[in-house]
Structure 1
Amino acid sequence: MTRVAAIDCGTNSIRLLVADVPADGGHTDLLRRMEVVRLGQGVDATGRLAPEAIERTRLVLAEYAAAARDLGATDVRMVATSATRDAANRAEFEDMARATLGRTPDVVTGREEAELSFLGATGSVAAAAAAHGLQPPRPPYLVVDIGGGSTEFVLGDDDGVLAARSVDIGCVRLTERHLHDDPPTPEQTALGERDIRTALAEVTAEVPVDRAATLVGLAGSVTTVAALALDLPTYDSEAIHGSRIPVDDVRRVAAGLLAATRVQRAASPVMHPGRVDVIGAGALVLRVLMDEFGLPEVTVSEHDILDGIALRLARPQA
């Protein structure tokens, strides 16, 4: 058994998982944390990480480093994704992380981000289906990770990844580009949808999505849409993980979020405060890709790149 700490630093949030990972089989969580720091604030427009965003990230990273140390993690890996890849001042961020965590973060390529997401997402979908009394999902899986700056599309089966593509249609990026009003106007939503469809054409040029038997969706936009579709009274990870949401429910939830004001979205008992401003764009990405690819439902995973980082850290050949 190996105790490791995984840190995923994305465009919108930074998350920590400390887990015990056996030589094979499922891992045991000791601690999961998520804080919205909006590292990618303005990076689409300026090409740079804002100093205040780096400082917000530093404060949380210091807490994560202490937690990993206190829980006795023998190894730590921090992965940074879209916002950091895109930033001209990436070195400033890396210097901060090295000083705070004691090691340099891995600014991964879109391909590795996709592979880690696939590993984390698919490792427990069969067990989650069984917990809901459902048949296990069938491979090949199309794993879709809707992040803040980018969305990863990964096609694979039980033997691993077959094809992958990362495109810049994350919920923060699309919100900053187009969804400016409260609520966004139909014209703004149409511009966002246009960007999504353009990006999906890039995906289908490299990933044979028509081979997918199961869509697996992950990250906060997807899990929040699932919580709303399930009409949960509070956010419940166990109820969400492994749930299957029909495309009609995704359409309904997405339309409602895009028509709601910020105050109305914030009033939802399942809404994380850090997602209030960007959830409309995230739901739009999910709805458009399901319509474009003709996918009847999405299997929702609470496990994602964070779990993939932990598994690969403990099992380098995973």
Structure 2
Amino acid sequence: MRVAAIDCGTNSVRLLVADLGGAELVEVERRMEIVRLGQGVDRTGRLAPDALERTFAAMRGYRELIDRHGASATRVVATSATRDAANRHEFVDGVREIFGVEPEVISGAEEAELSFEGATKGLARLSPETGMPEGPLPPYLVVDVGGGSTEFVVGSEHVYGALSVDIGCVRLAERHLRDAGDPPSAAALEAVVADIEAALDSVAEAVPVGDAHTLVGLAGSVTTIAGIALGLPAYDPERIHHSRVSAEQVHEVTRRLLAMTHGERAAIPVMHPGRVDVIGAGALILDRIVRRFAFSQVVVSEHDILDGIALSIDQKSR
């Protein structure tokens, strides 16, 4: 059946229309708009009226696409910013009016499960010549660097360890980098790193990261870093998907981004305008993960929670 999945995060709202047959997805259309729904949530605890309207405007456009493609089932999922907001009922009411379905404000644990399912589908494969596994080896540590939170998930075919922590590119940029200079001061960057390391302490205690053979990185901060490391002249999801970025490249790209001005970051060919002010915090999150857990590289996936949401629709409809 044809399904529509919508992921409403802290920074972006995304749509996937796909044909779902069993456990396989055939992509029909994929869209992303940066709406910054989580603007100010870390400080105020509420979704701002203008952020809600930006989000609803994007969703109205998505509703038109869903109708045009004839999707028979839609699932709308919201994550960190909406979980944290005291007025999340305003978001829920607006989404229900647009799509006619109840949006699901999911827990960090369910977010982690959906991210893992979407990211690892098709990652492990058998060689047609030998019949033996090739490509990145499980167990995987899937890291979804979002706007408000980052999910850490360890598993092979199934998840057996997961934790969502409140470090994300928007949250940390708003908390420490908004008035920290251009480029940001050393003191501000140290404050970002301190928050990240405190979260990673929790991850190290709760998640069996040491079991993982492969680090899989998801979401816009990670894919943007990959695009920069690859030297792409424009954002190219096909070249970024399943690319491998070495630890040295992660460190180098992070150093470059943190030394740049806002204008210099905006001029990077693969940089989406909505990521310019938060990419430094996002890069630092990935950088500290690679350092802390001693991975030699990150496998980058363009498939993530959005794909997991789409794959889950058949199960939820039974």
Regarding TM over 0.5, the answer is: yes
| 1:214 and 2:214 are equivalent in the alignment | yes
| 1:152 and 2:163 are equivalent in the alignment | no
Mapping of residues 131-146 of structure 1, within 5 Å:
135-146=134-145
CA shift for structure 1 position 316? 4.4
Report what 2:7 is aligned to.
8
Q: State whether residues 117 and 308 of structure 1, in contact with CA within 8 Å, keep that contact through their aligned partners in structure 2.
A: yes
Name the CA shift for 1:267/1:79 in 2 (closer, same or farther; >3 Å).
same
Letter of the structure 1 residue corresponding to residue 107 of structure 2: T
Report what 1:268 is aligned to.
268
Report what 2:42 is aligned to.
44
CA shift for structure 1 position 126? 3.5
Report what 1:99 is aligned to.
97
**Identical aligned pairs, as a percentage?**
58
| 1:312 and 2:312 are equivalent in the alignment | yes
| 1:299 and 2:299 are equivalent in the alignment | yes
Name the CA shift for 1:111/1:73 in 2 (closer, same or farther; >3 Å).
same
Name the CA shift for 1:125/1:3 in 2 (closer, same or farther; >3 Å).
same
Q: Distance in 1 between matches of 2:253 and 2:134?
A: 25
CA shift for structure 1 position 101? 1.3
Report what 1:109 is aligned to.
107
Between 1:223-232 and 1:118-127, the stretch displaced more is 118-127
CA shift for structure 1 position 128? 12
Report what 1:232 is aligned to.
232
CA shift for structure 1 position 179? 1.3
Mapping of residues 109-258 of structure 1, within 5 Å:
109-126=107-124, 135-158=134-157, 160-180=158-178, 181-258=181-258
CA shift for structure 1 position 238? 1.1
Q: State whether residues 125 and 134 of structure 2, in contact with CA within 8 Å, keep that contact through their aligned partners in structure 1.
A: no
CA shift for structure 1 position 269? 0.8
Mapping of residues 73-92 of structure 1, within 5 Å:
73-92=71-90
Q: SS where residue 149 of structure 1 aligns?
A: coil
Q: State whether residues 128 and 242 of structure 1, in contact with CA within 8 Å, keep that contact through their aligned partners in structure 2.
A: no
Q: Distance in 1 between matches of 2:135 and 2:229?
A: 21
Q: Distance in 1 between matches of 2:199 and 2:126?
A: 31
CA RMSD in angstroms, aligned pairs only = 1.7
Q: Distance in 2 between matches of 1:128 and 1:221?
A: 30
Report what 1:278 is aligned to.
278
TM-score by length of 2: 0.95
What are the Cα deviations for residues 209-263 of structure 1, in whole angstroms up to 9, with x where unaligned?
Answer: 0110000000000000000011111111111111111100000000111111110
Q: State whether residues 19 and 28 of structure 1, in contact with CA within 8 Å, keep that contact through their aligned partners in structure 2.
A: yes
Name the CA shift for 1:149/1:101 in 2 (closer, same or farther; >3 Å).
same
Name the CA shift for 1:86/1:112 in 2 (closer, same or farther; >3 Å).
same
CA shift for structure 1 position 129? 11
Q: Distance in 2 between matches of 1:314 and 1:230?
A: 37
Q: Distance in 2 between matches of 1:222 and 1:84?
A: 22
CA shift for structure 1 position 28? 1.1
> Structure 1 stretches of 5 or more lacking a match?
none
Q: SS where residue 299 of structure 2 aligns?
A: strand
Report what 2:68 is aligned to.
70
CA shift for structure 1 position 124? 2.2
CA shift for structure 1 position 309? 0.2
Q: Distance in 2 between matches of 1:34 and 1:236?
A: 14
What are the Cα deviations for residues 164-202 of structure 1, in whole angstroms up to 9, with x where unaligned?
Answer: 000000000000011132211111111100100000011
TM-score by length of 1: 0.95
Q: SS where residue 125 of structure 1 aligns?
A: coil
Report what 1:28 is aligned to.
26
Between 1:73-82 and 1:95-104, the stretch displaced more is 95-104
> Structure 2 stretches of 5 or more lacking a match?
none
Q: Distance in 1 between matches of 2:173 and 2:31?
A: 25
How many residues of Structure 1 are paired with residues of Structure 2 in the alignment?
Answer: 312
Q: SS where residue 124 of structure 2 aligns?
A: helix
